Amino acid sequence: MGTRAANGLPVIIVALPPEIDATNARQAYDKLNWALASGASGASVVVADLTATRFCDSAGIRCMLMAHNRAVAVGAQLRLAVSPGGPVAQAVELMGVDQLLAVYANTSDATAG
């Protein structure tokens, strides 16, 4: 987990595991939720770094949607950093998550917004 500043606002970057499925989706959500709770005291943007994630099933996608709902509830933004063209990007697109969440090609772009 790391913190950067973008446009004067702190941004928390949460690196997620190489694979997100039913066995670890809850842990991924807990990491994002912790960052969003930390955001209440400063960061208004949390970036879910999925650039090293090679696999994300429906449990992982659900985790991102739950984190998005949590972000909205605390007045923050959840942004996804997803390597373009990879299997995670395809899953995000196929399930329409890119229509709800801001998806960027890397953490630098996601940080900048």
Q: What pLDDT, on the 0 to 100 scale, is given for residue 41?
A: 55
The structural domains of the chain, with segments of one domain joined by +, span 2-112
pLDDT of residue 10: 79
In the CATH scheme, what is the code of domain 2-112?
A: 3.30.750.24
Note down pLDDT in tens along the chain; length 113 residues. 555 544 556 799 999 999 999 999 999 999 999 999 875 555 689 999 999 999 999 999 999 999 999 999 988 999 999 999 999 999 999 999 999 999 999 999 999 98
31, 32, 36, 41 alpha-carbon torsion, rounded to 10°: 30
Q: What is the pLDDT of residue 27?
A: 97
Q: What is the DSSP string of 13-81?
A: EEEPPSEESTTTHHHHHHHHHHHHHHHTTS--EEEEE-TT--EE-HHHHHHHHHHHHHHHHHT-EEEEE
